[in-house]
Structure 1
Amino acid sequence: MSKIQALAEEINNRLPDTANAAEILQQLNHVLFIEKGYEGNSSSYYDPRNSFLNDVIERKLGIPISLSILYIELGHALGLPLSGVQFPGHFLVKLEISDGAIVLDPYFGGISLNEEDIEERLQEYYGPQANKSHAQGVLASSSNKDIILRVLRNLRNLYMQDGKWEKALPIANVMTHIDNDEPADAFKARGAIYDQLECHTSALADYQSYLNTSPQTQSDQFIRARIIELAATVRKVC
């Protein structure tokens, strides 16, 4: 955090005492993205280091959510009440103002998005049926817990896709304890990790917990079949 504070002080020293929000944002963007060279890591988007804030600060590379976290922390240090936005597929930042909100994209240099930009992005994600009414729900401010869970989910899924089950497991353990809003996802993912590690008793327990989270999950025939197989062949306890 000392590096973030030092960067915030460098930006603050360039601002007049009467600087308004627009002037602070302009200077923040100039220093962070133009002078310091922070940018989205489009060439190695799925590098796990893009999700660790210490690596992002050192390498000056990140993904939308990690660059947004850095941006929000700098904004707070400069007196701007920035908040995160769980925009589908691409984390954003917003600043509430008297007549609405300024929506910013730190992955693309802190650019400001207008209503047309937001609607276009929604249509890219949801299809042409998306409109301004969809934007109201997806532009709500995220809690710190929501942000942490999104970072953890990104990392967990990345390690799972790469078959790095030992690295995915501790992240999955944390998520099963704090993800009260989506427990089905947490239990199913950890069950799959245990399954790959041949920790069959633990996988069986998580799959059963997953099925018990809601009526919708109870219809998951693949998991039901896997539970039957595991129950018949349990041979390793973790």
Structure 2
Amino acid sequence: MTSRQQALEILRHAGRIADEQIDLGEVALALALLDHPVADLSAYRRHLLALGEELGRAVASGPDLPSLAGKVAALEQVLAGTHGYAGDSETYTDLQNANLIRVIDRRRGLPVALGILAMVAARANGWTVMGLNFPGHFLIRLDHGGGRQILDPFHGMLPREPHELRDLLKQSQGLEAELSPDHYAPVSNREVLLRLQNNLKLRHLSSDQPGKALVVVEDMLLFAPDHIGLWRESGLLNAHLGNLSAGIAAFEHFLRLGRDRGASARLLDNTEALLRQLRSRLN
């Protein structure tokens, strides 16, 4: 039995440990539980374990020693073939697509949610796999024996070549966009989870539900307590909602972190001005 309180503690624990120690699957399930309560997470945890075990067997049953191509084929076989995971292109903006519990239930989701499933299964077998900083469409990279392959979780673990990535980039960023090394850069576990939750936050903001967006930001701060941008967002949302004391505290925390981490003088000055306004309203 996993209660809401236990889920929150999972997130707080993730916020206290080194990034490489974060269990992507466990934290993503805890986030999902907060938004979609279930009686017990054990069935979903078993499913994640089963994906890893099936992936290991799929590679072991091949005629040759594991290769990069063999691992790619095994990921496609287990996730897209055996379990039918696919991107939800019909109801892409449905909030369920960013909730790992509902993604497992429906076998449909956003690229980042499906990417988390693939990364969890691959890492259970000791494979080197990571999310990439590609804008607008989450991709993963699988490394093996000096070779690398970029995969598209939304399209059944489809291998993506540079010309395809260029087309994907232009679809999301405009025709003038061009690939740069930054688009291939690996991202941390926290950044993957933040990207997952950003989908929820943006959906709530676009539907004019700042209160729900604030809840998402507060949950994100539990596992990424040093993310300065989130503290500023918390301050802005709290101020908008009339939570003056909470807004002041969030802006003060942002300024402390921002000064230590070299935030721009313009952003610091702007935040200090907002802070003065909130303090004057509180008095």
Would you say the 8 A contact 1:160–1:193 is kept in 2? no
Q: Offset of 1:40 from its aligned partner? A: 1.0
Corresponding residue of 1:216? 266
Report SS of the residue matched to 2:186: coil
Corresponding residue of 1:142? 187
- Give the Cα separation in 1 of the matches to 2:100 and 2:220: 19
Corresponding residue of 2:96? 49
**Partner letter of residue 49 of structure 2?**
Q
Written as runs of structure 1 = structure 2, the 5 A alignment for 1:146-161 is 146-161=191-206
- Give the Cα separation in 2 of the matches to 1:105 and 1:202: 40
Corresponding residue of 1:3? 47
Report SS of the residue matched to 2:143: strand
- Give the Cα separation in 2 of the matches to 1:208 and 1:11: 47
Q: Offset of 1:85 from its aligned partner? A: 1.0
Q: Offset of 1:83 from its aligned partner? A: 1.3
Report SS of the residue matched to 2:245: helix
**Partner letter of residue 93 of structure 2?**
Y
Unaligned runs of 5+ in 1: none
- With normalisation by structure 1, the TM-score equals 0.79
- Give the Cα separation in 2 of the matches to 1:96 and 1:23: 12
Deviates more, 1:43-52 or 1:160-169: 160-169
Q: Offset of 1:190 from its aligned partner? A: 0.9
**Partner letter of residue 3 of structure 1?**
H
Deviates more, 1:152-161 or 1:89-98: 152-161
Report SS of the residue matched to 2:233: helix
Deviates more, 1:110-119 or 1:44-53: 44-53
Report SS of the residue matched to 1:74: helix
Q: Deviations over 1:184-238 (max 9, x none)?
A: x2123212321243212222343455567331314649x94x5555334328xxx
Q: How many residues align?
A: 228
The 3 A distance-change label for structure 1 pair 30 and 176 is closer
- With normalisation by structure 2, the TM-score equals 0.68
Displaced runs of 4 or more, over 6 A: none
- Give the Cα separation in 2 of the matches to 1:12 and 1:47: 32
Unaligned runs of 5+ in 2: 1-44
Q: Does 1:233 align with 2:247?
A: no
RCO comparison, higher one (Cα < 8 Å, 6+): 2
**% identical aligned pairs:** 25
The 3 A distance-change label for structure 1 pair 96 and 126 is farther
The 3 A distance-change label for structure 1 pair 44 and 187 is same
Q: Deviations over 1:86-142 (max 9, x none)?
A: 2111111101244542000011111111122223333442643524xx1x2221222
Would you say the 8 A contact 2:68–2:147 is kept in 1? no
Would you say the 8 A contact 2:132–2:139 is kept in 1? yes
The 3 A distance-change label for structure 1 pair 143 and 97 is same
Corresponding residue of 1:200? 244
- Give the Cα separation in 1 of the matches to 2:247 and 2:211: 14
Q: Does 1:96 align with 2:143?
A: yes
Q: CA RMSD in A?
A: 2.9
Report SS of the residue matched to 1:94: strand
- Give the Cα separation in 2 of the matches to 1:208 and 1:104: 41
